[in-house]
């Protein structure tokens, strides 16, 4: 049951999008988000949509995977669309009772909805094609200059990797403990909200006990292998930029440039 | 008491994703009441998935699980009752302990059955007795016990529901030999004194050979071998090909036979081996 919850939604694959350096992908997502919010003309929006479609096709991501990421936010998307549709003043198109739909409203609501959808799909594409560990690796390298101002970049990213690494483990453990308590007749599905909250106690207590035990064991194991923080530490998988990364960055910069030009020209 | 039957059972994990995995392919198995059955299989063969279907923790992708001829998934109520009739002790059950005292923890299952007062107490004492938990431990915190004691308390928690079918998933993993023998002896005693069915998953071939009435070998989601210990261990080569060990006594028998001694088939325990060797010696004299 808990296995269906996707937190690290990474789907392994071997496409050009999967092979890009995580730093490139992080940068491109930032560039793309700027692009989405700069685009205010029809051409600009269409160009942004085209960019996304291209990336989706290249990564061989299925529509179903993208929809899965969209589902929890569907309500917000619809609400934004409706609010913009009815509350924008301008030339009236249709008037039903107290609700008026204006031409500007239709335009604005389409723009907002497409913006949100592109934003979600774009960032979702990053997590779908990049394993959580390479994202943290990329982040660590990108934030490296901040070490000079005293930010413990390595420690933060190590904490993040460990947390990410243990999400599946803890989920599995929760699943196991829930099964064990269900086997003893625990009921998590019926009763009032208080009853259900109380029913979780037999799951939470063992879960916390084991999380602390694991943390303790992990710390010992790391010390046994002489872990002493980030100073002078080398990596097994060095991140390296290739031609494709440079091309990809150039492409996204060019697209942003194009969208800015379209905005200035107002087409 | 209770007969459990699996029909065309199939289970696929993460269906429709790149992580899809067929855990059980097509399992047909009938377990009559009061049988002591040992499930053997390599890691990842589907044993644990199989037993989690027996009390409805997992729902089959297709096929059905019948308890006394009735589908356990026919209603929510039926499923809830099944959990008390088919007691499952999971792997490393000591991690499920959560109450403040041992007594309260053992009482968790029976009180979920709706038992109260003296009846509840009777069930707890019975479970503790069968699992070998002494009553002096009742007021202690389960977290203060040793590993072996925790394991026993966890088993007692399931036995206290007096299940007609008891399933134990590697109950002896990580225990010392004395602890293993102790738990297996207790399980056997539970079966004999209450007339229950016992299904045991084990990696310990010697123990399996010593207590099993029937052995089922699972391999890659299918039932590969099914029979009495003698029948199953007679096919030592196939077992080895499936990555399973055979009991020490059977290994010795095979070695002796390779050396030209006329050893009978069906030796799987130390006692049987001793008898056979003595008979051989007697024959020579």
**What is the phi-psi region of residue B33: left when phi exceeds 0, alpha when psi lies from -120 to 50, beta otherwise?**
beta
| Residue B167 CB neighbour total at 10 angstroms | 26
β-strand pairing of B36-41 with B4-13: unpaired
CA angle B182/B179/B131 to nearest 5° reads 50
Contacts of B144 in chain A (CB under 8 A): none
Query: Quick check: A182 contacting B, CB < 8 Å?
Result: yes
Interface membership of B88 toward A (CB under 8 Å): yes
* Calpha distance B5→A110 (Å, rounded): 57
Q: Locate tokens 């084990």: which residue? A: B202
The 10 Å Cβ neighbour count of residue A213 is 11
Q: How far apart are CA B218 and CA B50, in angstroms?
A: 9
Q: Per this entry, what is the length of chain A?
A: 267
> Is A177 near chain B, with CB under 8 Å?
yes
Of B18, B80, B93, the CB nearest to A187: B80
Contact A176 B84 (CB under 8 A): no
- Beta-bridge mates of residue B10: B62
Chain A residues near residue B157 by CB distance under 8 angstroms: 184
Residues of A in contact with B113 (CB under 8 A): 185
pLDDT number for residue A187: 84
Q: Do A3 and B112 touch (CB under 8 A)?
A: no
**pTM summary value:** 0.73
Nearest by Cα to B167 from B99, B68, B82? B82
Q: Closest partner residue to B18 among A12, A206, A210, by Cβ?
A: A12
Answer yes or no: are the C-beta atoms of B208 and B227 closer than 8 Å.
no
**Three-class SS of residue B222?**
strand
CA atoms within 13 A on the CB side of A202: 27
CB B65 within 8 A of CB B6: yes
Q: What is the pLDDT of residue A8?
A: 52
pLDDT at A199 over 60: yes
Cβ–Cβ of A184/B109 closer than 8 Å?
yes
pLDDT at A64: 82
Beta bridge partners of B27: B9
> Cβ B52–A11 below 8 Å, yes or no?
no
pLDDT exceeds 80 at position A19: yes
Report residue A2's pLDDT band, with 50, 70 and 90 as the boundaries: very low
The set of residues, in sequence order, having a beta carbon less than 8 Å from that of B163 and lying 6+ positions away, is B84, B85, B86, B87, B196
Low-confidence ranges of chain B (pLDDT < 50): 285
Write down the pLDDT at residue B284: 53
Strand order in the sheet with B4-13: B21-31, B4-13, B62-67, B70-71
What pairing do the DSSP bridges indicate for beta strands B62-67 and B4-13? antiparallel
| CB spacing of B108 vs A184 below 8 angstroms | yes
Please report residues of B whose CB lies closer than 8 A to that of A190: 76
Confidence of residue A95 (pLDDT cuts 50, 70, 90): confident
- Contact between residue B150 and residue A173 where contact means Cβ atoms under 8 Å apart: no
State the pLDDT at residue A69. Answer: 76
Question: In chain B, which residues have their Cβ closer than 8 Å to the Cβ of A185?
Answer: 80, 83-84, 109, 112-113, 161
Q: How far apart are CA B94 and CA B142, in angstroms?
A: 9
What does DSSP assign to residue B38?
E
CB-count burial class (<10 Å; 0-12, 13-18, 19+) for B252: middle
The three-state secondary structure class of B8 is: strand
Q: What is the ipTM metric for this complex?
A: 0.84
Give me the half-sphere count of Cα atoms (radius 13 Å) on the Cβ side of residue B249: 26
Phi-psi map region of A95: left, alpha, beta (phi>0 left; psi -120 to 50 alpha): beta
**CA distances, B175 to each of B70, B168, B261 (Å):** 37, 14, 36
Residue A34 has pLDDT above 90, yes or no: yes
Q: Indicate whether A7 pLDDT > 60.
A: no
User: Quick one: tokens of B281?
Assistant: 């010696």
Task: End-to-end CA distance of chain A: give it in Å, rounded.
Answer: 50
Q: Are strands B197-201 and B36-41 parallel, antiparallel or unpaired?
A: parallel
The tens digit of pLDDT for each residue in A216-246 reads 999 999 999 988 877 778 877 778 888 899 9
Of B97, B62, B225, nearest in space to A209 by CA? B97
Nearest by CB to A176, which of B80, B90, B157? B90
Q: Tell me the domain boundaries of chain B.
A: 247-285
Element at A135 (helix H, strand E): helix A132-143
Residue A253, pLDDT score: 93
Beta-strand relationship, B197-201 and B165-169: parallel
């Amino acid at each position: 049951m808990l296995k269906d919850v996707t937190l690290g939604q990474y789907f392994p694959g071997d496409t050009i999008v999967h092979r890009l350096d995580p730093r490139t992908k992080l940068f491109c997502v930032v560039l793309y988000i700027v692009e989405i919010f700069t685009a205010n003309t029809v051409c600009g929006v269409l160009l942004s949509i085209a960019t996304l479609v291209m990336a989706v096709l290249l990564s061989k991501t299925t529509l179903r995977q993208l929809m899965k990421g969209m589902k929890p936010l569907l309500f917000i998307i619809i609400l934004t669309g409706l609010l913009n549709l009815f509350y924008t003043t301008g030339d009236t198109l249709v008037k039903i009772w107290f609700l008026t739909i204006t031409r500007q409203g239709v335009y604005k609501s389409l723009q907002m909805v497409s913006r949100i959808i592109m934003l979600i799909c774009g960032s979702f594409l990053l997590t779908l094609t990049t394993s959580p560990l390479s994202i943290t690796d990329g982040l660590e390298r990108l934030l490296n200059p901040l070490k000079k101002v005293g930010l413990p970049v390595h420690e933060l990213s190590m904490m993040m990797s460990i947390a990410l690494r243990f999400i599946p483990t803890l989920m599995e453990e929760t699943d196991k403990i829930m099964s064990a308590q269900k086997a003893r007749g625990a009921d998590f599905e019926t009763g009032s909200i208080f009853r259900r909250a109380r029913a979780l106690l037999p799951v939470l207590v063992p879960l916390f006990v084991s999380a602390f035990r694991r943390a303790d064991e992990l710390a010992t194991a790391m010390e046994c292998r002489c872990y002493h923080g980030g100073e002078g530490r080398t990596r097994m998988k060095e991140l390296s930029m290739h031609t494709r990364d440079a091309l990809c960055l150039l492409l996204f910069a060019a697209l942003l440039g194009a969208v800015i030009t379209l905005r200035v020209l107002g087409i | 008491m209770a007969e459990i039957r699996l029909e065309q059972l199939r289970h696929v994990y993460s269906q429709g994703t790149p992580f899809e995995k067929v855990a059980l392919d097509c399992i047909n198995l009938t377990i009559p009441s009061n049988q002591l059955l040992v499930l053997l299989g390599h890691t990842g063969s589907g044993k644990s998935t199989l037993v989690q279907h027996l009390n409805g923790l997992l729902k089959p992708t297709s096929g059905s699980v019948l308890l006394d001829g009735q589908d356990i998934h026919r209603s929510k109520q039926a499923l809830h009752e099944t959990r008390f009739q088919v007691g499952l002790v999971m792997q490393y059950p000591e991690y499920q302990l959560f109450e403040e005292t041992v007594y309260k923890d053992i009482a968790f299952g029976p009180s979920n059955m709706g038992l109260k007062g003296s009846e509840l107490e009777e069930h707890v004492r019975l479970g503790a007795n069968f699992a070998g938990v002494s009553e002096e431990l009742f007021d202690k915190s389960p977290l203060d016990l040793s590993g072996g004691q925790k394991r026993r308390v966890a088993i007692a928690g399931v036995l206290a529901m007096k299940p007609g079918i008891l399933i134990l998933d590697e109950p002896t993993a990580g225990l010392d030999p004395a602890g293993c023998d102790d738990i297996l002896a207790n399980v056997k005693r539970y079966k004999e004194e209450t007339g229950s069915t016992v299904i045991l998953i084990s990696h310990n071939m010697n123990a399996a050979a010593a207590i099993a009435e029937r052995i089922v070998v699972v391999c890659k989601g299918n039932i590969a071998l099914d029979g009495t210990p003698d029948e199953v261990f007679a096919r030592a080569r196939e077992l080895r090909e499936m990555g399973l060990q055979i009991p020490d006594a059977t290994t010795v028998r095979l070695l002796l036979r390779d050396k030209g001694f006329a050893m009978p088939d069906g030796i799987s325990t130390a006692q049987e081996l001793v008898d056979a060797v003595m008979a051989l010696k007697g024959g020579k004299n």
